Structure 1
Amino acid sequence: MLLETGFPSLWVAGEISNFKRYDSGHCYFSLKDANAQVRCVMFRGRAALLDFAPREGLQVEVRAVVSLYEARGDFQLTIEAMRMAGQGALFERFEALKKQLASEGLFASERKQALPHFPRAIGIVTSPAAAALRDVLSTLARRMPNIPVILYPTAVQGADAPAQIVRAIGLAAARQEVDTLIVCRGGGSLEDLWSFNEEIVARAIAACPIPTVSGVGHETDFTIADFVADVRAPTPTAAAELVSPNRHELLGRLAQLKQRQARVMQYHLQQHMQKLDQISRRLVHPGQRLVQQKRDVSQKSRQLQQQFHFILSRQQQNMARLSLRLAHLKPETISARQALHQRQQRLQRSMWQGLERQQHRLQQAQLQLAPWDPQQVLARGYALVTRPSGDLVRLATDVRAGEMLNVRFSDETIAVEVRQGIQQQTELGL
């Protein structure tokens, strides 16, 4: 108890030795350096929080409290947290660079570029041997296989990786052959991902004119590249899903739009068909119109003749009355008789001329109507085909074999029987 209360929680660095994990989940090992070693225990609850697997020979840093294993009287360290050696300094560098770049506005949302909905080509900055590349390519092939993919190869781990990543991003920006760029690699320790925490990589991503997606590590991993990129994806696979439209969703949407268009077209077609039916009901057959016009002409001709005879009769009556008056007045002078005779002749000529003009107009009207006379059409060699019911047969495709029809010529109507129709010819290959 004195050991546990007498020493505060402290950080100890060393190499793991004699590591054992029991079925209970508790871990027992020794932590050693060149001069000494100490027994350690890490209980199941704390061990479950580790993001890596401890193993023999691994250099680690542990936060521990001093304790005593009373059953054997052994001095030991009870481990509360463990991290890879050197992560403390790396984390401090990470936080310092993050604070610096944030103060410069490189993380500001207003400088972020929107990803295109339908990219013409997608670029990938990663290692050709990385498993992340296979995940990205398989995801893009599944979602939208027709989008071209261009790889800008680079190392993603090691001392040369940051410079190579910067060159790959610069190459993509210079070529301008893609409109979306994925910078990605798979998961790993803080040291494995450190290339994406370097300042030169962060500034290259921030200066890239192409919308950039960072997909580095697993969902719980964060790098400086995530903050400066236009979009951060939790995994490389998620990055591929962010930059590519879903082909199946688009096809489904297209099918919905196609069905909607078909419904709209069907609706408008029905509307126009109804309007056409209404108009067709108001239309009059040319034959019926011709018969009606012929009746109107005949009626007007009779009216003109009656009117002419009425006017002529009344003029004759007027002349008779004038003659009687003249007879009573006894205008026996030759000049008066001649003038009366001349007026009589002029009147008669005027009446006959008027009659001739009316007859001429009547003849002209009859000549204009003659081509529309059904009898004249039949006289030119045409025939009128009807069913026994009187319905007019307009199309040959309406006739069936064995059907009785009436054929009217200019002089007579005969009954005929159809031996073979158009449809039977089609079926026989004629």
Structure 2
Amino acid sequence: MTSSYLTVKALTKYIKRKFDADPHLREVYVKGELSNVKIHSSGHIYFTLKDDSARITAAMFRTQASKLKFKPEEGMMVYIRGEVNVYEASGIYQLYVQTMEPDGVGGLYVAFNQLKERLQQEGLFNPNFKQPIPNFPKTVGVLTATTGAAIRDICITISRRYPLAEIIVYPTIVQGENAAPNIVENLRLANKQQLCDVLIVGRGGGSIEDLWAFNEEIVARAIFESRIPIISAVGHETDTTIADFVADLRAATPTAAAELAVPNQQELYQRVLTSKSQLHQIITAKLTFERSRLKKLQNAYPLATPERIYRPFTEKLIQLDMQLGRSSQMYLMKKQNELQKLDAAIKRHSPKQTIQYYDKQLEQSINLLTRSIYTILEKKKDAHHSIIRTLQALNPLAIMTRGYSVAYKDGKVIKSISQVTEGEEISIHFHDGQAQAKIMNTKDNEGGE
């Protein structure tokens, strides 16, 4: 009887074969709301698809999930194409998703808005990070396809407007799966070479799918990291991509990008002519003004008769010259009179008599000085002898020669009988030597021991 019972595994496999055999479950189209969305680190997406009355678990594996242009989020209404089958390990049937599109708007539009919001929050659109476009670039780099109309329009426009600029073309894939990595690669190459002053990145018009490479996150970050200023030129004027928000400057079309990248030589020439004319007018007006001013100065009274200006100074100079001549003559006469007086005085006094007079005076001074020195020396000798006699009288050694001596104990003078006791050894100093003694007994002046 027990042999008729199935195992859980056998039952599950049977049910799975039923699902596999049903052609209606191999490809189903379902609309519903996303719930419990979990994006695994492996790239798989697990969620629940529900409506007002029912729900079904679903899984979208990495291969299919990597093709999504938007990020599935909680509460989003979606259209799903997939297969319904049984997951044997848990015995649960679930929906295996092949494609997913948002309800109401396309998946690319949702992906565009999601990435735009995230990059904006990170600051990639911040105007403070925008680099200025050089006014007169020497070299313009162009990243676009070499076969499209965009490259032709850009090159023609630059050559027409500013032929001084050199153009470096970086052939770039601008559509398809390989477009975004190729754009990033060429952006990094241009920055590594540092040959260009400005870069134009873009392509001609197309659908949102055609332009999608310029909405990829890797392209946006490569544009933001570029050290060379970038002008985006993607599609037509109505087309807007993530690259336009990140770029340092956005152009409506590739032709407009070329016009923004370089100045117009005709406009520059016209500006030069205008500046030349303005400069000529300014110089002419300045010359006219200065000529008028010069004429007024020339006709002014001081310049018309310049000799009247310095005539008083000339007269003053003549007067000073005359006064100087008179003063010089008077000074010379005075000095001549003084010289005559000195000459007469020298003749009256003979040099020999003068020498004898001063010689006698010197001799007298020497004698007086000698006597004064002897007198002082005698006084110093007497004072010295007096001091010697006083020192000898006060010298303790002189007193000791008369029979006195000094007693010491432990290197100190014994001044009182109370400082010694019987049996102690003391030292006695005489004027010609010293001796060691021992106290036999003591006796003070009152007779006590």
TM-score category (smaller protein): 0.3 to 0.5
* TM-score between the two structures when normalised by the length of structure 1: 0.44
Larger Rg: 2
